[in-house]
Amino acid sequence: MTYIAPEESAFGVGFFERLEANAKPMSLTRGPDAWDVLESIKRNVSNILNTRIGGAQSAPHLGLVDFNDATLETLDLSVRIKLAIQQCLERYEPRLTRVLVRADQDSFNPLTLRFHITATINSEALHDKVQFSLLLDQSRKYRVF
């Protein structure tokens, strides 16, 4: 049996996901499936971005500020949100590196904020670029696609 150092296998699926009662058994030699890692990252990105700063006592800077009170123009607001998303993911999603966030315009719905994330997955299970789309929906929740 091959030994995998904990620091090399730490970036698979999340700890709490492995503790779930219906979690798939995981081999120490093979690690998690690439699909499971990707889905885990998407869930975590959604959780991170839907958390408001100050909402987690153990990590007071986790999350994004509430942009509902913003008085800036849409372009300025879009740039601020883009930078906040990038900084938040760089700080709180260690499985992603080289994170780039781009604001996308929706010509059919100009009031909708859409973002496109490109990053490299830093995982023993997967060394690849990944792309996510974010939509700030009507209930002010970020949805990850």
User: 98-142: per-residue pLDDT in tens?
Assistant: 999 998 877 787 777 788 999 988 765 555 677 878 887 777 778
Q: What is the CA radius of gyration of the chain?
A: 17
How many residues are listed for the chain in this entry?
145
What is the CB neighbour count within 10 angstroms for residue 72? 11
Q: Report residue 87's pLDDT band, with 50, 70 and 90 as the boundaries.
A: very high
How far is Cα 60 from Cα 57, in angstroms, rounded to an integer? 5
Mean pLDDT of all residues in 56-82: 74
Which of the two residues, 51 and 137, has the higher pLDDT score?
51
Kind and range of the H or E element at 142? strand 142-144
Q: Show the tokens assigned to 110.
A: 């100009």
- Averaged confidence pLDDT in the chain: 75
| Domains, the chain, ordered by start | 30-144 (3.10.450.40)
Which range is most confident: 48-57, 70-79, 83-92? 83-92
Say what the pTM is. 0.72
Model confidence band, residue 7 (pLDDT cutoffs 50, 70, 90): very low
